[in-house]
Amino acid sequence: MTTIKDLSEEMPSFPGRAIKFANFNVTSQVFHVTPHSFALVNLKPLLPGHILVSPLRVVPRLSDLSAAETTDLFLTTTKLQRTLARVYKAEAFNVAVQDGQAAGQSVPHVHVHVIPRKSGDGGEGDKVHEWLEGEEGDVGAHQRQAVERQRAKEEWVKDEDRKPRSKEVMEAEAKWLREEIEKDEKSSAGRL
């Protein structure tokens, strides 16, 4: 397993550093890359630390993945949960795949939602999943809006309830998570 900054050395066949989430270039949101998977921070996290884990290969459905890709996707997910639990003080997680359009999938590229939870976080009852299935969780729409805003060099809408985050904010979070994952990788290597 490797973090993205080592990518050029360790995965020479990887196409530069441009990572695609469906047809979106999400490179600045990516904080972890493995042989088959990558993890990205969200434009509009439903709760702090809400991340997505995807296969590097752009395919829409879990059934499109090889056994190696499926294995890497979920081992990466559970590995990242360890760091997220620590840095976001999470007591629990919602781990969810909307596998196909009829299940609410908004981007035709497999992605595992990983949402850190704690008591009193406001996501109790049906809230987190209500968000996930509603406009708030429409990852595709958020990415499209970000592209449009970037094209139009538009100001962020100030009075929007839950503003999409700027590239700088996401890059800072991605950098922080990369560093925290490295700490966990070092400490688990030390235990072997």
Residues that bind a second copy (CB under 8 A): 62-63, 65, 67, 70-71, 73-75, 78, 81-82, 85, 90-105, 115, 117-119, 121, 124-130, 132-134
Closest approach, Cβ 121 to a second copy, in A, equals 7
**Catalytic residue status for 111:** yes
Closest CA to 7 of 56, 59, 45, 76: 56
Nearer to a second copy, 63 or 150 (CB): 63
The residues, any chain, with a CB within 8 Å of residue 59's CB and separated by 6 or more, are 65, 109, 110
Q: How far is the CB of 58 from a second copy (least distance, A)?
A: 18
- d(Cα 116, Cα 93) in Å, to the nearest integer? 5
Of 109, 111, 129, 142, the catalytic one is 111
Residue 10 or 124 having the CB closest to a second copy: 124
Pick the closer one to a second copy by CB: 7 or 75: 75
Shortest distance (Å) from residue 112 CB to a second copy: 9
Which residues contact residue 180 at a Cβ distance below 8 angstroms, ignoring those fewer than 6 apart?
A: 83, 86, 87
What are the residue numbers of the active site?
Answer: 111
